[in-house]
């Protein structure tokens, strides 16, 4: 055998050794999870994909990858990874819950023809999540919403939603108020919903969640001034809440009311580093662009939409808004 052949074989051997060492590296799950929480989903994927693939895939890595794609508004890839996670760890209530959410996002984007099949998958995933862990209140809350939103032939049922709400209230009184309030909202019993949220505020005065529920109810009733009033205490002073800053800005952009206040809140939000499921900075730039459109400030709107796309090139709303400005 010629020396060149020996060199080629040696080189190949070196590649195999490097690959084996790389595969043997420990999974950086905590780092990946921290990156997802910080909104750095693409960076998280780069350190999780090897660990989630291969001959011995890690179920937690597959779960985190699914979460990262869902936060990155790619429900198709999210569902693929979360399906893998549920296969690798069939006892994970958390994976089933997030798989249900991924199917739900797919259903929102699907054609009318495909929505029923996806809705059934959503329902099955949430039910399985609760079966695996009866204390998973997020999954129970998802079943409450599914019960009041979905038609009966797809598993919707106001009675089953109420039973889930009772289980939630027994385990967590605050979340129980929310569950019963949501049921009342969807049944257009708005006074009953308001009473649930007001009771929650009295019982849990330090929780900002109750204000957000009341804001959502006010918006449903098109009482926008009430929604602004409820958000105002959470957007100034020591109690400033980033979510409230964004919500007030988005409310201004969508209604055309209190535009100056909305702009100020969104600019404050841009100083914040979003984490988890908080609205992205790209979304904040998009809402600022919408405020400038309301004022007929086309140049400033264009700047904000371009800033949104720089932050997130997949933000189709910003791309469409830019086309309308031409």
Judged against a pLDDT cut of 80, whether residue 184 lies above it is answered with yes
- If pLDDT is split at 50, 70 and 90, which confidence band does 55 have? confident
More confident call, 43 vs 286? 286
- Quote the mean pLDDT of the chain: 90
- If pLDDT is split at 50, 70 and 90, which confidence band does 18 have? very low
Judged against a pLDDT cut of 50, whether residue 83 lies above it is answered with yes
Judged against a pLDDT cut of 80, whether residue 127 lies above it is answered with yes
Instruction: Determine the Cα–Cα distance for residues 146 and 54; give it in Å rounded to an integer.
Output: 36
Q: Would you state the torsion angle of the CA atoms of residues 290, 316, 77, 150, taken in this order, to the nearest 10 degrees?
A: 60
For 271-299, write each residue's pLDDT tens digit. 999 887 899 999 999 999 999 999 999 99
Sequence-distant (6+) residues with CB within 8 A of 42 are 72
- If pLDDT is split at 50, 70 and 90, which confidence band does 24 have? very low
Instruction: Determine the Cα–Cα distance for residues 322 and 316; give it in Å rounded to an integer.
Output: 10
**Per-residue pLDDT at 32:** 87
For 200-250, write each residue's pLDDT tens digit. 999 999 889 999 999 999 999 999 999 999 999 999 877 789 999 999 999
- The mean per-residue pLDDT over the stretch 245-256 comes to 98
- If pLDDT is split at 50, 70 and 90, which confidence band does 25 have? low
Neighbours of 157 (CB within 10 A): 16
Instruction: Determine the Cα–Cα distance for residues 307 and 273; give it in Å rounded to an integer.
Output: 16
């Amino acid at each position: 055998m010629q020396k060149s052949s020996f060199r080629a074989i040696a080189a190949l051997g070196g590649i195999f050794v490097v690959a084996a060492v790389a595969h043997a590296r420990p999974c950086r799950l905590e780092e990946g999870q921290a990156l997802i929480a910080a909104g750095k989903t693409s960076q998280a994927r780069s350190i999780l994909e090897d660990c989630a693939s291969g001959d011995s895939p890690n179920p937690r890595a597959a779960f985190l990858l699914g979460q990262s794609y869902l936060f990155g508004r790619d429900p198709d890839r999210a569902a693929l990874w979360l399906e893998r996670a549920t296969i690798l760890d069939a006892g994970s209530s958390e994976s089933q819950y997030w798989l249900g959410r991924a199917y739900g996002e797919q259903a929102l984007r699907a054609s009318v023809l495909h929505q029923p099949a996806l809705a059934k998958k959503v329902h099955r995933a949430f039910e399985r999540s609760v079966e695996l862990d009866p204390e998973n209140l997020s999954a129970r809350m998802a079943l409450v919403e599914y019960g009041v939103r979905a038609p009966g032939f797809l598993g919707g049922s106001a009675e089953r939603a109420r039973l889930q709400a009772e289980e939630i209230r027994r385990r967590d009184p605050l979340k129980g108020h929310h569950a019963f309030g949501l049921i009342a909202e969807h049944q257009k019993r708005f006074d009953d919903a308001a009473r649930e949220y007001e009771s929650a505020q009295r019982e849990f005065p330090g929780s900002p969640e109750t204000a957000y529920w009341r804001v959502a109810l006010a918006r449903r009733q098109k009482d926008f001034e009430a929604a602004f009033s409820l958000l105002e205490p959470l957007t100034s002073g020591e109690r400033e809440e980033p979510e409230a800053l964004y919500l007030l800005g988005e409310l201004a952009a969508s209604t055309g009311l209190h535009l100056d206040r909305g702009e100020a809140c969104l600019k404050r939000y841009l100083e914040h580093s979003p984490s988890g499921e908080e609205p992205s900075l790209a979304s904040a730039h998009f809402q600022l662009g919408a405020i400038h459109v309301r004022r007929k400030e086309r140049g400033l709107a264009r700047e904000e939409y371009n800033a949104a796309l720089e932050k997130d090139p997949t933000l189709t709303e910003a791309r469409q808004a830019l086309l309308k400005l031409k």
